[in-house]
Structure 1
Amino acid sequence: MEQIDAHQHYWNPARGDYDWMPKDDPILARPYGPADLAPQIAAHGVTKTVLVQAAATVNETEYLLGIADATDHVAGVVGWVDFEKPSDIEHLKRLAEHPKFKGVRPMIQDIPDDDWMLREDVQWGFKAVADLGLTFDALGFPRHLFNFLEILKRYPEMRVVVDHCMKPQIRDHSDTNFTFWAEGMSRIAEETRAYCKFSALVTEARPGWTVEDLRPYVEHVFRIFGPERIMWGSDWPVCRLRCEYSDWRAAAEELCSGLASGDRGRVFGGTAAEFYSL
């Protein structure tokens, strides 16, 4: 089965719209493009990627689609529109006509109001995503889990994937934190049709993380979603805050070593191909 990286980024900080990015960060605050990633995906037999937005602007989405047009391995783009501007439905309709545009990702993890997604003035966005047959990447933290559950149940026809296992705080592991996250993820898995990205766990762990630090979280996600609803992603280059592409890929393969070959095929390619219609 074809190998797919379901979540990676390209950016150029000089564009000026990456508001979350520390300007002096030696790893993040530099340009990243296809030539930087190509040798690493080739080393693991990855032939397709999903390129995901990293700036809260429509202009960045256009920039990513330009990269996708010029890059064979970019099979899909997850972009952004302003859910606070109902007029942005025109952008969404236009973008949906591009063959590599797959869906949107509001940067909910960076919005101060945890209840933002429940506001009446942003509901048009969820409805439009569903009506246009696009995908929705749910980006947040464990504190957002139950609001996401409400939105997913409000729009059951919307095709949703939970980004990064909803970023469990592995570096601050405790029974209380784990139980809260695990219960919220279980309810999403059991009560909705959402998928889950097996990605970015290393950046939620402490420096010097081990596979065993990640294992309880991975085992829970696989138990509740099953391989048929899980897709692996690198979250490169953000993963470089903790390790290189190959290190995270090796850890993910070790964590999946007990799966049947068909199930591994789903996690490392088949699920992403199905969800994003690649």
Structure 2
Amino acid sequence: MRIDSHFHLWRPARGDYGWLTPAAGILHRDYEPEDFAPLLATHGIDAAILVQAAPSLAETEFLLAHAGRHPWIAGVVGWTDLAAEDAPARIAALAGTPGLLGLRPMLQDLDDPAWILGDAVRPALRAMASHGLVFDALVRAAQLPAIRVLAARHPDLSIVLDHFGKPWIGDAPGGEWMDAISALADAPNVTVKLSGLLTEAPAGTDAAALAPYFDHVASRFGAGRILWGSDWPVLTLAGSYADWLAISDALLAPFGGGARKAILGANAARIYRI
């Protein structure tokens, strides 16, 4: 089973996407299941995980409704206010909702890189772990050390690092990012999504340019702790679904069939309990 572990759907008119303005260009329009399903069929992808893009419970309910109507949506990574006093109760209720796989606070947009380590969110994180929900970490490279502390503090919480931690893609990986990835790899409850790299890179970036970044992650995490995802439709700012699949295939070429199957689907099924 091949699973795209990261895609989005949205309707800007819903009004809770603070970042989704006309300045976002081609992203500032509706993206519906009917736009995405043909890509999966064309490229032999069996299912996909729908990820939140707005910090609101209303959007999570909107995404869960999509999942209920489309069997190829394997589940939803939603949102709730982890700092709310009633967060544990909200999480318990969400965990009982069919299709809810995990939660994602939009940490990359916060001024405090260590917000997730505050006392106010600890009860929510414990509740997530106890209900088997995955924590998707949407962070920039400078926030990676906080995720390492988070992983040590909550060893029973499954943490998935989105988009390789958003390294700046240049001539070679930066030492700070490499060190932070190595430290994260020491935490057995952390896995990494091979996703979102083209939109962090200069135009025209190819597999050869991304190989040093992928090779470092693969050498530290191994094939059993990497999940493939597209980050569609954000991906379309930098390339097509076919482009990203071709680059991914080139990056995975050194792996055997079992390892490729793990990265392209089996790991997502295991980690998100699909």
Please report the TM-score for the alignment, with normalisation by the length of structure 2: 0.97
Which residue pairs with 2:269 in the alignment? 273
Tell me which residue corresponds to 2:109: 110
Counterpart secondary structure, 1:239: helix
Amino acid at match of 1:101: L
8 Å CA contact retained: 2:171, 2:209: no
Whole-Å Cα distance in 2 between the matches of residues 140 and 25 of structure 1? 20
- List runs of 5+ in structure 1 lacking aligned partners: none
Asked if 1:6 corresponds to 2:2, the answer is no
* Distance (Å, rounded) in 1 between the aligned partners of 2:188 and 2:270: 17
State the AA in 2 paired with 1:61: T
For 1:107, the aligned partner's letter is M
Give the conservation status (yes or no) of the 8 Å contact 1:205–1:213.
no
Moved more, 229-238 or 39-48: 39-48
**CA gap 1:7/1:245 in 2 versus in 1, 3 angstroms:** same
CA drift of 1:192 comes to: 3.3
Query: Paired residue for 1:215?
Result: 211
* 1:179-208 CA distance string (max 9 Å, x none): 110110111112332111010011110112
Structure 2: how far apart are the matches of 1:185 and 1:192?
13
Given that 2:87 and 2:123 are in contact with CA atoms closer than 8 Å, whether structure 1 keeps it comes out as no
Contact 1:189–1:225, Cα closer than 8 Å, also in 2: yes
SS at match of 1:191: coil
* More moved, 147-156 vs 83-92: 83-92
Where do residues 80-99 of structure 1 align in structure 2 (5 Å cutoff)? 80-99=79-98
- AA aligned to 1:99 is P
| Number of the residue aligned with 2:259 | 263
1:225 to 214, 221, 235: 221
Deviation at 1:90, TM superposition (A): 2.5
Residue 176 of structure 2 corresponds to which residue in structure 1?
A: 180
**Correspondence for 1:204:** 200
Q: Aligned ranges for residues 1-278 of structure 1 at < 5 Å? A: 2-170=1-169, 173=170, 178-278=174-274
Secondary structure in 2 matching 1:35: helix
Say whether the 8 Å CA contact 2:203–2:238 is kept in structure 1. yes
User: 1 CA distance for matches of 2:60 and 2:16?
Assistant: 11
Gaps of 5+ in 2: none
Q: 1:136 touches 1:159 (CA, 8 Å); kept in 2? A: yes
Measured after TM superposition, the shift of residue 108 of structure 1 is: 0.1
Q: How far apart are 1:136 and its partner, in Å? A: 0.5
Q: Secondary structure at the match of 2:86?
A: helix
CA RMSD, aligned part only?
1.2
Structure 1 residue runs of 4 or more that deviate by more than 2 Å after TM superposition: 22-26, 88-91
CA distance in 1, matches of 2:11, 2:74: 20
Q: Give, as a single letter, the amino acid of the residue that structure 1 aligns with 2:17.
A: Y
Q: Do the aligned residues in 2 keep the contact of 1:76 with 1:102 (CA within 8 Å)?
A: yes
Shift of 1:121: 1.2
The number of equivalent residue pairs is: 274
**1:174 Cα deviation after fit:** 5.9
Give me the whole-angstrom Cα distance separating, in 2, the residues matched to 1:16 and 1:274: 34
Asked if 2 retains the 8 angstrom alpha-carbon contact of 1:153 and 1:192, the reply is: no
Structure 2 counterpart of 1:232, which letter? W
Distance 1:44 1:3 in 2: 10
Q: SS where residue 38 of structure 1 aligns? A: helix
Percent identity among equivalent residues? 40
What amino acid maps onto 1:142 in structure 2? A
